[in-house]
Amino acid sequence: MNRTIGLIEARDLSKRFGGVQALDAVSLAVEPGQIIAVIGENGAGKSTLVKILCGVYHPDCGEVRIAGKSIRLQGPADALAHGIARIPQELELCDTMTVAQNLLLGREPIDRYGIIDESSSRQQARSALENVSLDVPLDVPVSQLGHGQRQLVAIARALDGNATVLLLDEPTATLSPTETKVLLERIVKLKEAGTAIVLITHRLAEVEQVASRVEVLRDGIHVATLEKDEISRKNMVHQMVGRDLEPPTAENLTLGSTRLTIDAMTSEVHPDPIHLEVKAGERIALAGLVGAGRSELLEAIFGLRHRNGTVRIDGDRLVPLHPAAAVEAGLALIPEERATQGLALQRTVAQNAMLPGLHREAGWLGWLPSGAGEKTAHDVVNRLDVRPARTDLPVGDLSGGNQQKVVIGKWLALKPAVLLLDEPTRGVDVGAREEIHQKLRTLSQQGVSILFASSEMEEVLSLSHKIVVMHEGKITGILTTSESTEEQILALATGGELR
Amino acid sequence: MKKVLGIFSVLVTVALVTAIISPAFLSSYNIENLLRRSALFGIIGIGASLVIITGGIDLSIGSVICLIGCLTPWLITVIGISPWIVVPSLLVLATGLGLTHGFLVTRLKLQPFLVTLCGLFVYRGITRGILADSTVGFGTSGSELRSLGTGRIPITDSFGLPAPLLILAVVALVTSFGLRRTIWGRHLLAIGSNETAARHCGIDVNRVKIGAYALCGLLAGLGGLLFVLDTGSAQPSNFGNFYELYAIAAAVLGGCSLRGGEGTVIGVLIGATLVQVLRNAIVLIDEIPDSIEFAVIGGIILLAVIADEAVRRAVARRSNED
């Protein structure tokens, strides 16, 4: 490999977050004039790798070498000074400021009194836009641009700051097909002009289209490098999945009547009407990639986001569109982010566990009798086997797995008819995961309907009876779990046809 | 610019209505006085807007005004120090207080509301302690100095431009130029708009923010000085009471968003004038009892904030449709 200016090399990068080894001795070399796609399932370590390359995280071990020299990057600003720019999914633009002001932010041309030179500013801004072939007025606030245009403004700013390496983190995740096409064309042009590009994406079709090389990560480990002539959807999927799964154990399945009915539901993220039924005792998985609209589907059912169409519980239409009505009708939603959506971390286990049902124990003017909710709290701790078995600890002091048990337990205390779970075991260790899975199986045998979104194939395949695969807000397939393979699911999840 | 136009038309409407109901409004004495008051509140409003643009807030302005406003006559008449020493040192003191706020907000990552709320209590308490709650005035001394507050440049027999207006003009021109044309102003707006983005672009966010708090302190100090030169005496327990709220009101009415990232000097000036015209109207129009002054001002600010939110949502909706 010839070394030229702009080359960065990551050697044996490792990074641990709590109990999770996010990245384990991963190496990566980036050369000018190449598009290197980094792919992998959710949680494979792609974003961690990119964040180390731009100085957001420091690696636990390993080093980043720039032009042959080992460098400890102090943060994104420092990385940019070394020619490395990350374009995160959540663009770092100042929305209230104009295109020109954003393009030159932090390096405005000034005279010796610190006064901004307007004419050379505009000239520089214009040539920055030309670099990415973007034609927008310089004086409009960036908030008025479309997302694809904003992305290009961010890229133009990075290039104008002499970035030679662009780290693009899922740049097309929120773009329309047309915008995606434009963006990919510009990226290829930049590559041909000599920019080194690291592309993180879930969309394998894009990878096939533009990548010079593919690096595959799985569970924080680098598992394969696919050279240009080896890049194919089949190869990539095979490498991303990689592991053999134990066949799901057969279960005596006796389904009851339909409990949850979703009829012709559409929303901002779900363009096509969604129809779905969950029977009593049934466990259905929502599979798909980030941005497939799974969490949003659960939120829409629960009344947390605006939707059209109807949701019925045991045949009764769920109105109004509000979580309180959903809870009253027997729904419960275990959210994706337990730290921000599920728990009040500083409060005790008891205070968290009793929260959903507390209003039922409250008296006149909301007065709470002493000891209100105590029994509920103890039940939650006992039934879910929360460890340590105490209700008086701040819930933030528990391990991730036990926190998740509290989140699930506090909703089970209401005895829901339909349980919606978003990533039921994210960031939970193997032992606790098995306990939670077992609890969910027991619940469904008692007649509870379960609809869960999960990014972990193993969980999808081992816990569900049916799998609903989503891609860009649409259902691309409904599979019976016992007859489906990981490859099939991934193909549907990436928008491909079922083969 | 459209935002400023909206508030400007409100100002014109209120002024017209007041002038029609009460002819005294347009008397040259009243106009001159109105300009003087507007100029004084414009100066502290500009200071408040700089902090608000960063997404912060300064609640200590009124107490800084009290501290400087009371110490000036006290040091000159009671202690007997030359105004040439007193004035510059007190302005340095006010700047230092602002610097301290900025330091606490950026380095110690304390919330601006909390830091400046403590300032509000502490500075007034200190002032009342030093003066043992007694009123101080200039008496017969310091008359040259007092012309900074009370002076006027005669235009006609009965009307003259008040001196504080000229001081405001200098402050406004410098700040406006600084905000629009210097790198510091550009970075101030960027920080308020998206602090992470600004930091990742290599901007020294802390330094710029500390600068904003320091300038706010300086302008509050200058305001305190001019207020006391205008009134001639100060009572520590009520001098400058609620003035931080008038300053914040001027900034918000003038188009500064409390979320940060937005604001113009001209807007703040219009906002400050509007607040003073409203106060003036309440005094002049007999049908409105003076006692409901706060209710009127509060109501108008609330309407302005609601309009601000409505505009934002409309803009957001439009950019979503693109």
pLDDT band, residue B125 (cuts 50/70/90) = very high
Beta-carbon-side half-sphere exposure of residue A64 (alpha carbons within 13 Å): 25
pLDDT digits (tens, 9 = 90+) for A365-374: 888 887 778 8
A101·B262 Cβ contact <8 A: no
Interface membership of B201 toward A (CB under 8 Å): yes
pLDDT-above-90 percentage for chain B:
72
Residue B320 has pLDDT above 70, yes or no: no
Shortest CA distance from B190: residue in chain A = A94
Distance of alpha carbon B64 from its chain centroid, rounded?
A: 12
pLDDT band, residue A464 (cuts 50/70/90) = very high
pLDDT digits (tens, 9 = 90+) for B45-70: 999 999 999 999 999 999 999 999 99
Find out whether B229 and B149 touch, Cβ atoms under 8 Å: yes
pLDDT of B110: 96
Listed residue (A305, A297, A396) closest to A342, CA to CA: A396
Phi/psi of residue B115, nearest 5 degrees: -60, -50
DSSP for B96-155 reads HHHHHHHHHHHTS---HHHHHHHHHHHHHHHHHHHHTT--EE-TTS-HHHHHHHH-EEES
A81·B202 Cβ contact <8 A: yes
Shortest CA distance from B259: residue in chain A = A96
- Kindly report the number of other CB atoms within 10 A of residue A63's CB atom: 14
DSSP A172: T
Phi/psi of residue A94, nearest 5 degrees: -95, 105
Residue A283 has pLDDT above 90, yes or no: yes
pLDDT digits (tens, 9 = 90+) for A90-102: 788 998 899 999 9
A222-233 burial string, b = 16+ CB within 10 Å, else e? Answer: bbbebeeeebeb
**In the predicted model, what is the mean pLDDT of residues A318-342?**
88
A53 CA to chain B: closest CA distance, Å? 14
pLDDT band, residue A251 (cuts 50/70/90) = low
pLDDT band, residue A126 (cuts 50/70/90) = very high
B322·A97 Cβ contact <8 A: no
Residues of B in contact with A115 (CB under 8 A): 181-183
B31 CA to chain A: closest CA distance, Å? 37
* Residue-averaged pLDDT of chain A: 86
pLDDT of B2: 65
Residues of B in contact with A143 (CB under 8 A): 315-316, 319
Residue among B181, B202, B261 minimizing CB distance to A94: B261
Residues of A in contact with B184 (CB under 8 A): 114
pLDDT-above-70 percentage for chain A:
93
Q: Which pair of tokens denotes residue A158?
A: 């990075």
pLDDT of B322: 47
B319·A143 Cβ contact <8 A: yes
* Stronger pLDDT, B227 or A400, i.e. the higher one: B227
Find out whether A418 and A371 touch, Cβ atoms under 8 Å: no
Residues of A in contact with B313 (CB under 8 A): none
Residues of A in contact with B311 (CB under 8 A): none
- Kindly report the number of other CB atoms within 10 A of residue A252's CB atom: 5
A93·B194 Cβ contact <8 A: yes
pLDDT digits (tens, 9 = 90+) for B271-297: 999 999 999 999 998 888 989 988 988
In chain B, DSSP finds a helix count (H) and a strand count (E) of 13, 4
Residue A247 has pLDDT above 70, yes or no: no
Which structural domains are found in chain A, ordered by start? 8-241 (3.40.50.300), 258-493 (3.40.50.300)
**In the predicted model, what is the mean pLDDT of residues A102-112?**
91
Burial class (CB within 10 angstroms; exposed 0-12, middle 13-18, buried 19+) of B140: exposed
pLDDT of A1: 38
pLDDT of B127: 97
User: Using CA of residue A301, residue A303, residue A308, residue A310, what is the dihedral sign?
Assistant: positive
Residue A245 has pLDDT above 50, yes or no: no
Give the residue from B2, B194, B200 with the most A CB atoms within 10 Å of its CB, the best one to mutate: B200
pLDDT-above-90 percentage for chain A:
40
pLDDT band, residue A496 (cuts 50/70/90) = low
Highest mean pLDDT among A7-11, A144-148, B240-244: B240-244
Phi/psi of residue A369, nearest 5 degrees: -60, 150
For residue B100, what are the CA distances in angstroms to A103, B120, B216? Answer: 33, 13, 12
* Stronger pLDDT, A163 or B93, i.e. the higher one: B93
Q: Which pair of tokens denotes residue B59?
A: 């609640």
Give the residue from A96, A113, A157, A179 with the most B CB atoms within 10 Å of its CB, the best one to mutate: A96
**In the predicted model, what is the mean pLDDT of residues A183-210?**
90
Residue among A81, A95, A161 minimizing CB distance to B193: A95
pLDDT of A114: 82
**In the predicted model, what is the mean pLDDT of residues B230-248?**
94
CA-CA-CA-CA dihedral for A113, A119, A120, A121, to nearest 10: 80
**In the predicted model, what is the mean pLDDT of residues A447-474?**
90
Residue B156 has pLDDT above 70, yes or no: yes
Which residues on adjacent β-strands are paired with residue A418? A331, A449
SS3 (DSSP) at B166: helix
pLDDT of B24: 93
Supply the ipTM of this predicted assembly. 0.84
pLDDT of A429: 66
Phi/psi of residue B125, nearest 5 degrees: -60, -45
B299-310 burial string, b = 16+ CB within 10 Å, else e? Answer: ebbeebeeebee
A116·B182 Cβ contact <8 A: yes
Residue A19 has pLDDT above 70, yes or no: no
φ/ψ bin of A25: left (φ > 0), alpha (ψ from -120 to 50), beta (otherwise):
left
Highest mean pLDDT among A26-30, A495-499, B212-216: B212-216
DSSP for A407-449 reads HHHHHHTT--SEEEEESTTTT--HHHHHHHHHHHHHHHHTT-E
- Kindly report the number of other CB atoms within 10 A of residue A319's CB atom: 11
Interface membership of A98 toward B (CB under 8 Å): no
Only one residue has tokens 């096509």, namely: A272
Which structural domains are found in chain B, ordered by start? 30-137+163-316 (1.10.3470)
A94·B194 Cβ contact <8 A: yes
Residues A311 and A302: their CA atoms lie apart, in Å, by: 9
Listed residue (B46, B43, B51) closest to B68, CA to CA: B43
Residue B129 has pLDDT above 70, yes or no: yes
**In the predicted model, what is the mean pLDDT of residues B80-103?**
96
Beta strands in A179-303 (DSSP E): 196-200, 213-218, 221-227, 258-267, 270-279, 283-287
